[in-house]
Each structure stands twice: as C-alpha cells, then as structure tokens.
Chain A
Amino acid sequence: GAVVSQHPSWVICKSGTSVKIECRSLDFQATTMFWYRQFPKQSLMLMATSNEGSKATYEQGVEKDKFLINHASLTLSTLTVTSAHPEDSSFYICSARGRAGGWKTQYFGPGTRLLVL
C-alpha cells in the first residue's frame, strides 16, 4: 500500500524556537495533505488541509501564522510550528491523499511527537 513518512519522529525544543515537521508520500503523488493534532487521550483534530501549489485551508481556531504549512511539491508538505510554546506540545500526524487510492482514501504518516520545554 501507499506509504507516508514523517520526519522527525520526535522532537524536543525550547520555548520560543521554531520546529519544522516534514510529511512525504514515498510512492505516490499526494495532491492533498492533511495535518492533524492529537492531545493525550483525545481525538485527532484536523488543523489544516493543503493542496499542492496553493495556500493551506486552516480549521477554525488554528492560527495560520503560528502553524505554517507549505505544500510545494506533490510528495512533500511541511508544517512549521513557529515560536513554539509548551501548550503546542502534542502529537502531529499528517495524511496524504492522491491518485493511489482514489479521492476518499487517506494514508497516514507515523506521527511526530513534539515536546516544548
């Protein structure tokens, strides 16, 4: 099946620094990528949807200036958490959708665990 990777798998940073998380579709072209966030013992929540070559669409309550999303190619999307604070500590998961499985199928990355000290 289609494979989606994320890098890094975990990151610890100081408050105020910026962290970039990469999401790659390894064997298919991802026309759309989704970024989700999951706090402990809670559901995943969609943060934003990005289509290749266009600006991301953010969900209500998600600050677009804080969570910068770039989807510059059909295989790579990046999420940058700018000026991270302890409350941004969470599990960030991307998923990708493309021609691999039809428009309804999303393939998930393994996630990135962020801890902001």
Chain B
Amino acid sequence: KNEVEQSPQNLTAQEGEFITINCSYSVGISALHWLQQHPGGGIVSLFMLSSGKKKHGRLIATINIQEKHSSLHITASHPRDSAVYICAVISPYSGGGADGLTFGKGTHLIIQP
C-alpha cells in the first residue's frame, strides 16, 4: 500500500511569504495530484504531475520520481491562499483501487494579512 506523507501538517505565514509544502510517497506512482480544499469542503485540482515541474500563476509544483518526492510552492502568498493542500497519488496496487487516489492528510495553510 502506498503511504503518502505530507509536511508540514500546519503552516501559518505572513502575507507575501514564499510557501513550500512537501509530499513523499513510498511506492512508485504513475501520477501525483496537488489539490486544494477550502473550508466549505469543495476540492479543486491544482496540478497533476508525472514528471518535472508545472507552473500556474503563483503556484509551482515539482516532482522527483527517483526520490519519490513532490513539492508545492506558493510565491507572494495571500490570505485567499488559506486552505488545506492535499497531495494524492495514483499507483497500481496502492490500495486506492484500480485508479483511485491515495491521499495525504493535508497541510493546513493560513496566510495572515
């Protein structure tokens, strides 16, 4: 079964700070998602990665397949970035069903003005 670990669990930062959230997994994967969950519960998919790096606005996601590690970065953070950020992986025999996702526990991010 794939174990997905995120760090930190909780992060409070000041507006404008550069934020890094880390995700490690134990078994080889075919793809990794970074998701954002707001207090209301709805989930938005930010990125899906299978290699390299992706950028969207102030968000950057990287993945190192060999090291089984991914990072999500937020530049010039803003209070509206406050949310739970979840790392989720797809891998065969991960315990996530045929293609279902295995989720990390999430990182609670609070950006203070």
A binds B: yes
Q: Does B90 lie within 8 Å of A107, measured CB to CB?
A: no
Q: In the complex, which residues of chain B have a beta carbon less than 8 angstroms from the beta carbon of A105?
A: 45, 48
The CA-CA distance from A34 to B41 in the complex, in Å, is 17
Q: Does A49 lie within 8 Å of B50, measured CB to CB?
A: no
Residue with the highest number of chain A CB atoms closer than 10 Å, among B45, B48, B50, B105: B45
Decide if the interface of chain A is mainly helix, strand, loop or mixed. strand
The CA-CA distance from A108 to B104 in the complex, in Å, is 16
Q: Does A43 lie within 8 Å of B97, measured CB to CB?
A: no
A59 at the interface (CB under 8 A from B): yes
Q: Give the A-B pair count, Cβ closer than 8 A.
A: 68
Q: Does B41 lie within 8 Å of A103, measured CB to CB?
A: no
Chain B 29-61 per-residue mask, 1 if CB under 8 angstroms from chain A, else 0: 011010100001111110010100000000000
The CA-CA distance from A45 to B95 in the complex, in Å, is 10
Shortest Cβ distance from A101 into chain B, in angstroms? 8
Q: Contacts A34-B97, A111-B41: A104 and B103 contacting too (C-beta < 8 A)? A: no
The CA-CA distance from A60 to B101 in the complex, in Å, is 15
Show 7 residue pairs from A and B whose CB-CB distance is below 8 angstroms, ordered by the A residue.
A46-B96, A59-B97, A59-B100, A93-B41, A107-B45, A108-B44, A110-B43
What 18 new A-B contacts, CB under 8 Å, besides A46-B100, A93-B41?
A: A38-B41, A43-B104, A43-B105, A43-B106, A44-B86, A46-B101, A48-B97, A49-B98, A59-B95, A95-B101, A104-B50, A105-B45, A106-B45, A108-B35, A108-B44, A110-B40, A111-B41, A111-B42
